[in-house]
Amino acid sequence: MSFIVLLGVMFVLTVLGLPLFYSIIFASIVTLFWFLPYVPVTIVAQQVMQGLDTNALQALAFFFLAGELMSVGGITSRIIRFVTSIIGRWKGSLAYINIFSSLFFGSISGSAVASTAAIGSSLIPAMKKSGYPAPFAAALTQSASIIGPIIPPSVPMIVFAALAGAGVSVGKMFMSGIIPGLMIALTLILVTFVLSKIYKYGNQATEFKWSEVKDSAKDAIWALLCPIIILYGIISGIFTATEAGAVSVVYAYLVGTFVYKELSFERLKKALISSLKGTITVMLIVGASSIFAWMIARLQISHQVASWVASVCDSPLEALLLINLIVLFIGMVMDPTAALTILVPVFMPIVNQFGIDPIHFGLVVILNLMIGLVTPPVGYLIFLSANIAECEPIKVLKESIPYLLSLLGLLILLIMVPEFSTFLPNLLFQ
């Protein structure tokens, strides 16, 4: 009953248009007065402040700003030019350029929305001019953009680490996404190859020139060095994930201002405001999730859910499959950050009870929620990519079905084979 009241009040307020932070706080206060009247209401403020007191959120602020600085500092165009110089001679190269550009840009931004906007605004018009149907170009772009939150530096992984508590570091989460991220890229390439063969998409190709490769590589080297510096620094222990975020901010500013000379004062101002909005939004939600998690623990809701899962599941794999089925449906109608806020406090005790690796759990849940971004009825990336491509969202959805099915198949594979996500963290963080 208490869980129904907590979620019900929060859901109604969110549907009415109240920001998620206020919805969670108000729902928690209502539940507190109803089921725990003897607990002082000051516990709400205490738990919110405690939820914000984590190093992971410092990393979040830095990576948000670094991503914005790189987006407005000339990084995207140089990445696309470099990738084009290498694979532009392939037939249908623009589709593959889209995937590889999303892979490179994702290693800088860590955001699916930012990747769709940046890569889509550059490549969707180019794909349309080259004969690709607009819905297909949009479907490919949105599907490729979910690589960003899977590979480091991933914003959802930072949020998950902050919510999951002890034993789940940002560095381990970052490493867990490298192999799955490459697997996503390979899967999308194979699906694109098959679709291009069937529907005769993209017969164009450009002449391969070593001079263009050298020039574009020389121009893009500063952009490509950033993720290498971040990963090397974290793996080698030179700096923590938070310090890596600070380094990436300084690096992005110096490159954008003094090397590419595209980071003007107006663009810097735009990046600061945008990153500030994004950081505050996520931090407020994470702070509110702390009182939400406290309520769940105090009312023994997680224990009740764990008992139910244990009653219907006989193994960790069955439990993980059931949890991901629930996550899949929630991800279809809820923003990933909001979903993580609700789901992590509920499911982490179950994960610990069944002995599931929390790093593996975090990776598959984040991928699951990213798939939700390209799945109706909400599917934010469907509408964003359709807007860029100037076509109807329903047509984008139709073209997305092969990619969606392949991503779901890959999700099942990653659930069943945890080594894909745990190998690098176990190897590098012994």
Q: Domains of the chain: which residue ranges?
A: 1-39, 40-428
The pLDDT-based confidence of 203 (bands split at 50, 70, 90) is low
- What separation in angstroms does the CA of 217 have from each of 9, 153, 193, 197? 54, 22, 26, 30
Mean pLDDT over all residues of the chain? 86
Quote the pLDDT of residue 426: 92
Q: What is the 8-class DSSP label of residue 151? A: S
Whole-number Å distance between alpha carbons of 240 and 242: 5
Please give the share of the chain, as a percent, with pLDDT higher than 90. Answer: 31
Note the pLDDT tens digit of each residue in 85-96.
Answer: 887 667 667 889
Quote the pLDDT of residue 411: 97
If one compares 164 and 15, the residue with the highest pLDDT of the two is: 164
Span 392-420, average pLDDT? 95
Closest to 162 measured CA to CA, from 174, 172, 171, 170: 170
Note the pLDDT tens digit of each residue in 94-144.
Answer: 889 899 989 988 887 778 888 888 888 888 998 888 889 999 999 999 999
Quote the pLDDT of residue 204: 62
- Cis peptide bond N-terminal to 149, omega within 30: no
Q: Under 8 Å CB-to-CB from 129, ≥6 apart: which residues?
A: none
Whole-number Å distance between alpha carbons of 142 and 150: 14
Closest to 134 measured CA to CA, from 405, 371, 399, 401: 399
Whole-number Å distance between alpha carbons of 342 and 23: 12
Q: What is the 8-class DSSP label of residue 17? A: T
Cβ atoms of 101 and 171 closer than 8 Å: no
End-to-end Cα, the chain, rounded Å: 43
Cβ atoms of 196 and 92 closer than 8 Å: yes
Note the pLDDT tens digit of each residue in 132-187.
Answer: 999 999 999 999 999 999 998 888 998 899 888 777 888 899 999 999 999 999 99
Distance of CA 395 to the CA centre of its chain: 24
